[in-house]
Structure 1
Amino acid sequence: MSALPSWIDERIDRNLDNTLSQEHVVKTMIESDRPFFSLRQLHARIKPEVSRATVRNRLQELQTIDVVATETYPDSITLYYINHPESDWPLSPEGKRALHTDTPLDRLSTRAFLTLSDTAGIRTLVLAGLQLSLVLFALGGVLTIVGADVSSTQSDIVLWDTAAELLVISLALLLVERLARWVRDRYSPLNLLPST
């Protein structure tokens, strides 16, 4: 098992007389890929020979020292999670950072683009293309009104042509992505490219 964060390590009780330690409960929760647990789920992961009452007692102790927090829902369902001081439930600090830094374009891979499988990434790309075409149209309009050309290349016309081409490409990409999504929903996913 890995080392505990210092803010947890300072708070937990190292009572070796208990059949289940606070440290073991916390490490089980941290090392899991789940952000929260019911008592039953946590009991199944810890030790089958330890009773649920013992797991509940350790969780209550951890809650008292603000290492674990709970959310209670109807039907008496209580979920337990690590009470990370620098984020809101149930996100760990790493999860919170990932949400703030990971955009759809950051996650868009070449494979997801070629197979049109990452809807959010492709739509973000299309939106960027539409916005860039709007900027190019506006810039071409300003150059036409001002009557300025860059080194006599009729830059306003070049900008309008580029904007029109970018607009058509963006709309075509959006149409193809929606068609691919419709085909996947109707006929199940097609594996055109081998997975890595």
Structure 2
Amino acid sequence: MSGIPQWIEDRIDHNLDNTLTQAHVVETMVESERPFFSVRQLHARVKPDVSAATVRNRLRELQEIDVVATETYPDSITLYYIDYPESSWPLSPEGERALHAATPLDRLSTRGFLTLSDTAGIRTLVLAGFQLSLVLFALGGVLTVAGVDTAGTRSDVVLWGSAFDLLFVSLCLLVAERLVRWGRDQYRGSSADASTDFE
């Protein structure tokens, strides 16, 4: 049961007489990509094949020992999730760390940039470009008003020129990303239409 965290391993009942053990249920939940489950969803995943009532009983037992917690929604839908003591529902500690650590720019890869496929990363980069352009415009304006000239160069002109260049590049990047996204949407739409024609 290497997939089960030690704090859960210490709490669960290792009764091997049950067809479906608490360990089986927890292992299924921990190893799944899903953060939470309904009884029906969990029942479809657990091995060995048992009744939904058995799955519900194991979940109730796990809830009593604070391994599993629930959220109830309208229409009597109850979702079960691992009640990690060190993180908020329904994230595992690893998931919560990844969520807080990874910004769109952290996740932006060279491939995602060159193919303009990482929409969030590209837009974050464009926004940063717009903000930096604004800073350069402001600095150029301050130097112009103050009449400051550094080392024989026209600092204000250089800053304004850089700001226009950066603004232009950011706008081009934004337009390119939107055109690529529009093209992909059109291609997906035409592919979907073609597949329905053959059915």
- TM-score over 0.5 (shorter chain): yes
Match of 2:193 in 1: none
Match of 2:19 in 1: 19
CA contact (8 A) 2:3 2:31 kept: no
Identity of aligned residues (%): 75
Q: Could you say what secondary structure the match of 1:58 adopts? A: helix
Structure 1: state its 5+ residue gaps.
Answer: 190-196
Match of 1:147 in 2: 147
Structure 2: state its 5+ residue gaps.
Answer: 190-199
Which runs of at least 4 in structure 1 moved beyond 3 Å after TM superposition?
A: none
- Structure with the higher fraction of residues in helix conformation: 2
Structure 2 length-normalised TM: 0.87
Q: Could you say what secondary structure the match of 2:152 adopts? A: coil
Letter in 2 for 1:110: T
Match of 1:86 in 2: 86
Letter in 2 for 1:138: A
Aligned pair in 2 of structure 1 residues 3, 182: CA closer, same or farther (>3 Å)? closer
1:39 and 2:39 correspond? yes
1:50 and 2:50 correspond? yes
Distance 2:89 2:97 in 1: 14
Give the C-alpha shift of residue 15 in structure 1: 2.3
Match of 1:193 in 2: none
Q: Could you say what secondary structure the match of 1:188 adopts? A: helix
Aligned residue pairs, count:
189
Letter in 2 for 1:26: V
Q: Deviations over 1:48-89 (max 9, x none)?
A: 442222221111000011110112233332221101112222
Match of 1:181 in 2: 181
Aligned pair in 2 of structure 1 residues 157, 43: CA closer, same or farther (>3 Å)? same
Distance 1:115 1:75 in 2: 44
Letter in 2 for 1:120: A
Aligned pair in 2 of structure 1 residues 30, 169: CA closer, same or farther (>3 Å)? same
**Equivalent residue runs for 1:1-196 within 5 Å:** 1-188=1-188
Structure 1 length-normalised TM: 0.88
CA contact (8 A) 2:38 2:79 kept: yes
Give the C-alpha shift of residue 155 in structure 1: 1.3
